[in-house]
């Protein structure tokens, strides 16, 4: 068993008993990266020196005694490279930010440090979080640890692949249209997208501000609850973060699902869903039923409109958010521009990759004079209809359950030539972001090719407790989360 397979309570006991040090943990993380990441490519930059210095500091503090240990004390963490970290390179996997060292921490980076976790590395992703395969990284694509011919998913592909490889105790990702849940499903790990507003976005490089949300990627649901506990809460620096009470997420993990009412939208379990994925999800429903839950088929009539609405809205917001990358205040500036407009154009054109340009173009068009009502406003109205679909289901059900993705991971290069085909892969995840709801992906089986399958559980706004409770009860009863790629240590 790898060190990072242990429960948090076991790690903390071993640290207190001096059987283990934080330095040991951080060294294990660095060793795993050095040994296996040449092939997986989940890491963009490791801060070996900084992490070891932080580890020594934490070890000294425990040796002196007295002070209370933070909730995530000593745990090596990897952060998606769109979460800014003071003095540690943050590139969003974009050549545009190849030399960017943030001058302050984002709220979540700070909270993770305040909880005494050690940030060891920044992780690969689709450039500016735009993509679902990590093939859009401006540096190199990440591979799926289960089979390196396949994508790990995206855009938090590095965060999910690194967890499957057990490089860290936990990682953080961001989810705008499925970017935590889809790679978690493809890599056989647990990915949680909290309710919009549950976690501060201050210091998350913005892609689509009304949809983006930071969340944990972990080996199991218990770890997910711990990390969410540490990063959740209102933040005066993010006025869209919700000023609501943060419950004790750990106490929600009771193992009990008796009387739970599950709604299963027929649009996301029938046509278009790979039979292997459908069978795994139906088996999960049977399992939950045997534990005392009930389920019924329901309908989300506007499901087929969610993907086009999502791409119009997210690209519009992106075109506005990415206007800040101008080559003036930070980032890479093109040489030899003779005037300011040329400097903007050349810097942006050289710095951004093809998918980022495509989305900026789409968003700029959708917001431009004469097209705003037809595209942007229309998509906002469809967003309202999708929220109404959810509201009518949640009037009678506690959670909604369906696959995280229509099929398992695809081969590297398989979808790169057809943006619409690639976008349609997001059908099971984007409606959740449009409605701002909390959702988790947990492993629920494997395909004939040995690739992981993800089960998605969606809850009411700010009801992460129920989502975590159901996910945990299911996970513990079936144990798919304990499987790892064969080559992974231990």
Which is nearer to another protein, 123 or 435 (by Cβ)? 435
CA distance 444 to 141: 26
179 carries an active-site annotation = yes
Instruction: Catalytic residue, from 80, 110, 113, 219: name it.
Output: 80
**Number of residues that this document lists for the chain:** 490
Binding residue for another protein, selected from 20, 180, 187, 312, defined by CB under 8 A: 312
CA distance 411 to 402: 23
Binding residue for another protein, selected from 74, 197, 216, 452, defined by CB under 8 A: 197
* Residue 77 bridge partners (DSSP): 119, 170
**Distance in Å, CB of 88 to another protein, minimum:** 13
Which is nearer to another protein, 88 or 362 (by Cβ)? 362
Closest C-alpha to 169, from 112, 245, 125: 112
Q: Which one-letter DSSP state was computed for residue 69?
A: P
Q: Contact region for another protein (CB under 8 A) — 164-172, 282-290, 306-314, 479-487? A: 306-314
Instruction: Catalytic residue, from 21, 159, 179, 241: name it.
Output: 179
> Is 446 among the residues that bind another protein (CB under 8 A)?
no
CA distance 427 to 406: 8
159 carries an active-site annotation = no
Ranges assigned E (strand) in 274-327: 294-298
CA distance 364 to 372: 10
* Touching another protein, residues 94-133 (CB under 8 A): 99-101, 103-104
Binding residue for another protein, selected from 40, 71, 309, 478, defined by CB under 8 A: 309
Ranges assigned E (strand) in 219-257: none
Q: How far is CA 1 from CA 16, 242, 425, in A?
A: 20, 39, 34
Q: How far is CA 443 from CA 334, 405, 477, 485, in A?
A: 45, 12, 12, 13
> Is 31 among the residues that bind another protein (CB under 8 A)?
no
CA distance 249 to 251: 5
> Is 416 among the residues that bind another protein (CB under 8 A)?
no
Q: How many CB atoms lie within 10 A of CB 462?
A: 19
Instruction: Catalytic residue, from 137, 155, 159, 241: name it.
Output: 155
Closest C-alpha to 83, from 172, 168, 157, 163: 172
> Is 148 among the residues that bind another protein (CB under 8 A)?
no
155 carries an active-site annotation = yes
Closest C-alpha to 310, from 447, 179, 169: 179
Residues 6+ apart with CB under 8 A from 394: 263, 400, 460
Which is nearer to another protein, 431 or 443 (by Cβ)? 431
Q: Contact region for another protein (CB under 8 A) — 176-184, 225-233, 305-313, 394-402? A: 305-313
* Touching another protein, residues 344-403 (CB under 8 A): 344-346, 348-349, 352, 354, 357-358, 360-362, 364-365, 368, 375, 377-385, 387
Q: Contact region for another protein (CB under 8 A) — 109-117, 253-261, 429-437, 446-454? A: 429-437
> Is 233 among the residues that bind another protein (CB under 8 A)?
no
Residues of the shown chain interacting with another protein in the complex, contacts defined by CB under 8 A = 99-101, 103-104, 196-197, 210, 236, 239-240, 242, 302, 304-305, 308-309, 311-312, 319, 323, 326-333, 337-346, 348-349, 352, 354, 357-358, 360-362, 364-365, 368, 375, 377-385, 387, 419-420, 423, 434-437, 461
């Amino acid at each position: 068993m790898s060190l990072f397979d242990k429960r948090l309570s076991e790690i903390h006991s071993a640290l207190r008993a001096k059987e283990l040090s934080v330095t040991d943990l951080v060294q294990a993380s660095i060793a795993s990266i050095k040994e296996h990441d040449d092939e997986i490519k989940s890491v963009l930059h490791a801060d070996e020196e900084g992490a070891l210095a932080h580890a020594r500091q934490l070890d000294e503090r425990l040796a002196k005694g007295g002070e209370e240990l933070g909730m995530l004390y000593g745990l090596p963490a990897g952060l998606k490279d769109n979460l800014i970290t003071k003095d540690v390179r943050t590139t969003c996997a974009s050549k545009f930010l190849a030399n960017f060292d943030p001058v302050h921490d984002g709220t979540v980076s700070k909270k993770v440090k305040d909880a005494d976790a050690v940030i060891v590395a920044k992780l690969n992703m689709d450039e500016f979080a735009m993509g679902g395969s990590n093939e859009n990284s401006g540096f190199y694509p990440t591979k799926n640890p289960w089979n390196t011919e396949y994508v790990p998913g995206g855009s938090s592909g590095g965060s999910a692949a690194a967890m499957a490889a057990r490089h860290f105790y936990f990682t953080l990702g961001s989810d705008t249209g499925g970017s935590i849940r889809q790679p978690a499903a493809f890599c056989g790990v647990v990915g949680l997208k909290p309710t919009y507003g549950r976690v501060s976005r201050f210091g998350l490089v913005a892609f689509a501000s009304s949809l983006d949300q930071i969340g944990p990627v972990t080996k199991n649901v218990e770890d997910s609850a711990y990390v969410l506990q540490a990063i959740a809460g209102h933040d005066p620096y993010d006025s869209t973060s919700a000023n609501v009470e943060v419950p004790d997420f750990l106490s929600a993990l009771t193992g009990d699902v008796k009387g739970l009412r599950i709604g299963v939208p027929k649009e996301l379990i029938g046509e278009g869903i790979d039979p292997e994925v459908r069978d795994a999800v139906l088996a999960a429903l049977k399992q939950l039923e045997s534990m005392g839950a009930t389920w019924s088929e329901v309908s989300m009539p506007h499901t087929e409109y969610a993907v086009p609405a999502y791409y119009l809205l997210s690209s519009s917001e992106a075109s506005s958010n990415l206007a800040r990358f101008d080559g003036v205040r930070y980032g890479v500036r093109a040489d030899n521009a003779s005037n300011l407009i040329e400097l903007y154009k050349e810097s942006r054109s050289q710095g951004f990759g093809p998918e980022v340009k495509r989305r900026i173009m789409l968003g700029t068009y959708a917001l431009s004079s004469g097209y705003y009502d037809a595209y942007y406003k229309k998509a906002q109205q469809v967003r309202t209809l999708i929220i109404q679909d959810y509201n009518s289901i949640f009037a009678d059900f506690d959670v909604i359950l369906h696959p995280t993705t229509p099929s398992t991971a695809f081969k590297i290069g398989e979808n790169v030539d057809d943006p619409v085909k690639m976008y349609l892969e997001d059908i099971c995840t984007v409606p959740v972001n449009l409605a701002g709801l909390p959702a988790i992906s947990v492993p629920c089986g494997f395909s004939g090719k040995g690739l992981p399958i993800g089960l998605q559980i969606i809850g009411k706004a700010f009801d992460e407790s129920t989502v975590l409770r159901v996910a945990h009860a299911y996970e513990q009863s079936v144990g798919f989360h304990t499987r790892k790629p064969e080559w992974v240590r231990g």
